[in-house]
């Protein structure tokens, strides 16, 4: 099986030993505590689950700036984005060296992790501007990732953490949420040697389904991990339970038995385009995938990124040898009326736009809301039915 990034063993920060977990949970109730941001909570979940291995905790500013500027930390290790715990104020914790981090996304703000505070640093406007520019490639506050990142505080707490729970992801999505540890174990149980991962924050239409089949066939993979985002999205995105139901129905009906896993992870989408594509690839290696599909405008939003920037960044910016996992470069896929099948548009040079079945997201939402199923060349009817039920309920 492929090694985790930078190590031969995955290093999740969740406390699995029941006695230690009980002891730390008891200790946490007496520690100074602070409610952290949703983005910081997502970082804790990802570290706890092993996706960000071998990070030991939140970055100090030197590491955060290194990650932003050149994807390299102070010790020379690779990480593609800053992983920060930013606060607006620290009155609640004073100068304590050990604190409890509380979950902003669960009622009652339960303890998410315990942190040994190694540094408390003021983040300058210049540092925020550099991190924003390098990670998001824009400072436009209309960009949802830029807005979320800059709406946090300007005090950075850094230090190792011990994670005590996985926020709402494990309770709300018990059949879908999986840690990197669990996915690695399931891949071993299946006996898969070559595994391709597919990222989604949307339901999968026919073109997405066929792209996964293409990747598996061309790479000679014996397994597919459909890995969906379960964290916070932007307004208008389809809720995770609806996405989950539609994807499971597609896999049940249109993939061979034991060839595909439907899983999810807990993280707030950054919408950082190319840089987030590298992050997505990083944690797919940690979960055991040998290949990862990156298509047109991967992890993008609006018109902030070029169509294939998320592919070229691997050649132009990612340090050589940083990742073992390989990317499968994909173009936009669509049904060809000429060929009577789904193809990558770049592989049909004799086609015009009119030769493909192309529907805008707005048009699809309108059809679903009116109870009209998109054509079978665009969406499987069983998937469309689940989405129609959702849109007609809102």
Q: Which of 108, 100, 3, 107 is CA-nearest to residue 44?
A: 100
Q: In the beta sheet, which residues pair with residue 170? A: none
Strand bridging mode 195-200 / 223-229: parallel
Is it true that the peptide bond before 54 is cis, omega within 30 degrees of 0? yes
Name the active-site residue from 3, 202, 248, 365.
Answer: 202
Angle at 72 between CA 70 and CA 77, to 5 degrees: 165
Q: Which two tokens stand for residue 137?
A: 């490639």
Name the active-site residue from 98, 201, 248, 365.
Answer: 201
Dihedral (C-alpha) 195, 199, 203, 206: value to the nearest 10 degrees? -50
Per residue of the chain (394 residues), give pLDDT as tens.
Answer: 999 999 999 999 999 999 999 999 999 999 999 999 999 999 999 999 999 999 999 999 999 999 999 999 999 999 999 999 999 999 999 999 999 999 999 999 999 999 999 999 999 999 999 999 999 999 999 999 999 999 999 999 999 999 999 999 999 888 899 999 999 999 999 999 999 999 998 889 999 999 999 999 999 999 999 999 887 666 677 888 888 999 999 999 999 999 999 999 998 889 999 999 999 999 999 999 999 999 989 999 999 999 999 999 999 999 999 999 999 999 999 999 999 999 999 999 999 999 999 988 788 888 888 899 999 999 999 999 999 999 888 7
Q: Is 248 a catalytic residue?
A: no
Q: Is 284 a catalytic residue?
A: no
Q: In 10 A of CB 89, how many CB atoms?
A: 10
Q: In the beta sheet, which residues pair with residue 305? A: none
Interacting residues of 194 by C-beta distance below 8 A, sequence separation 6+: 219, 220, 221, 222, 223, 290, 291
């Amino acid at each position: 099986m492929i090694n985790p990034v930078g190590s031969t063993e995955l290093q999740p920060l969740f406390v699995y030993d029941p006695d230690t977990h009980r002891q730390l949970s008891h200790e946490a109730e007496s520690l100074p505590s602070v409610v952290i941001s949703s983005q910081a909570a997502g970082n804790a979940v990802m570290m706890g689950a092993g996706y960000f291995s071998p990070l030991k905790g939140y970055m100090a500013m030197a590491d955060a700036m290194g990650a932003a500027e050149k994807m390299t930390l102070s010790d020379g290790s690779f990480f593609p984005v800053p992983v920060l715990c930013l606060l607006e104020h620290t009155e609640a914790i004073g100068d304590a060296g050990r604190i409890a981090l509380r979950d902003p996304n669960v009622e009652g703000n339960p303890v998410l992790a315990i942190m040994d505070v190694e540094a408390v640093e003021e983040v300058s406007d210049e540092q925020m501007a550099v991190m924003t520019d390098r990670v998001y490639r824009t400072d436009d506050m209309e960009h949802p990732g830029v807005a979320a990142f800059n709406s946090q505080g300007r005090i950075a707490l850094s230090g190792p953490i011990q994670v005590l729970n996985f926020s709402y992801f494990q309770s709300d999505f018990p059949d879908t949420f999986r840690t990197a540890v669990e996915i690695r174990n399931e891949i071993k149980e299946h006996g898969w040697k070559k595994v391709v991962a597919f990222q989604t924050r949307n339901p999968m239409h026919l073109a997405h389904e066929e792209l996964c089949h293409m990747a598996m066939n061309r790479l000679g993979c014996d397994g597919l991990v459909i890995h969906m985002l379960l964290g916070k999205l932007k307004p208008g995105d389809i809720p995770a339970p609806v996405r989950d139901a539609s994807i499971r129905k597609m896999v049940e009906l249109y993939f061979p038995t034991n060839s595909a896993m439907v899983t999810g992870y807990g993280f707030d989408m950054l919408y950082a385009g190319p840089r987030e594509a590298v992050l997505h690839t990083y944690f797919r290696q940690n979960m055991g995938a040998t290949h990862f599909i990156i298509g047109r405008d991967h992890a993008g939003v609006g018109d902030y990124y070029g169509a294939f920037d998320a592919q070229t960044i691997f050649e132009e910016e990612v340090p050589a040898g940083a990742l073992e996992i390989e990317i499968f470069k994909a173009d936009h896929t669509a049904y060809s009326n000429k060929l009577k099948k789904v193809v990558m548009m770049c592989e049909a040079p004799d086609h015009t736009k009119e030769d493909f079945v192309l529907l805008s997201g707005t048009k699809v939402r309108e059809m679903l809301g009116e109870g009209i199923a998109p054509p079978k060349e665009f969406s499987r009817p069983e998937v469309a039915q689940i989405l129609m039920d959702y849109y007609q309920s809102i």
